[in-house]
Structure 1
Amino acid sequence: AARSDDGIRVYLDGALILDNWRDQEAVPARVELYVEAGEHLIQVEYYENGGDAAVSLGWELQGLYPAWKGEYFDNTALSGQPVLVRNDNEISFNWGTNAPDPRLPSNNFGVRWSRSLLLPEGAYRFLARADDGVRVWVGDRLIIDEWHEARADTYEGYIWLDSQPHKVRIEYYDGGGNANVNVWWEQVTRFSGWRGEYYANRNLDGPPHFVRNDDEIDFNWGTGSVGYGLPADSFAVRWTRTTRLQTGTYYFAVQADDGVRLYIDDRLVIDEWHDASGALYDVLVNIKEGQHKLVLEYYDRGAHALVQMAWRLMGTATPTATITPTATVTATATVTQTATATATTAVPPTATFTHTPTATATPTATATATPTATATATATATVTEAPSEEPTLAATEPSSPEPDDSDE
Structure 2
Amino acid sequence: MLIGEKRRTPMSTIWRKGGLVLSGLIFVLSLSIASFLSIVPAKVAVAGPIPFRGSYYNNMSLSGTPVLTRLDTTINFDWGTGSPDPKVSADQFSARWTRTAFFPEAMYNFIVTADDGVRLYVDGKLVIDKWKNQSATTYNTPVTLSGSVQHTVTMEYYENHGFATARLRWEQISPAVGFLGAYYSNRVLAGTPTLTRLDPAINFNWRTGSPDPASLPANSFSVRWTMSTYLNTGQYRFTVTADDGVRLYLDGKLIIDKWKDQAATTYNSIKWINAGAHTIKMEYYEHNGFATAKLSWQPASSNGGYVGVYYNNQTLSGAPTQMRIDPAVNFAWGYRSPDPTIPADHFSARWIRNVSLNEGTYLFTVTADDGVRLFFDGAPIIDHWVNQPATTYTRTVWVTKGTHSIIMEYYENTEVATAKFSFQLISS
TM bin, normalised by shorter chain, reads 0.3 to 0.5
Q: Larger strand proportion, structure 1 or 2?
A: 2
Q: Larger helix proportion, structure 1 or 2?
A: 2
The TM-score with structure 1 as length reference comes to: 0.43
**Structure with more contact order per residue of length (Cα contacts < 8 Å, sep ≥ 6):** 1
The TM-score with structure 2 as length reference comes to: 0.41
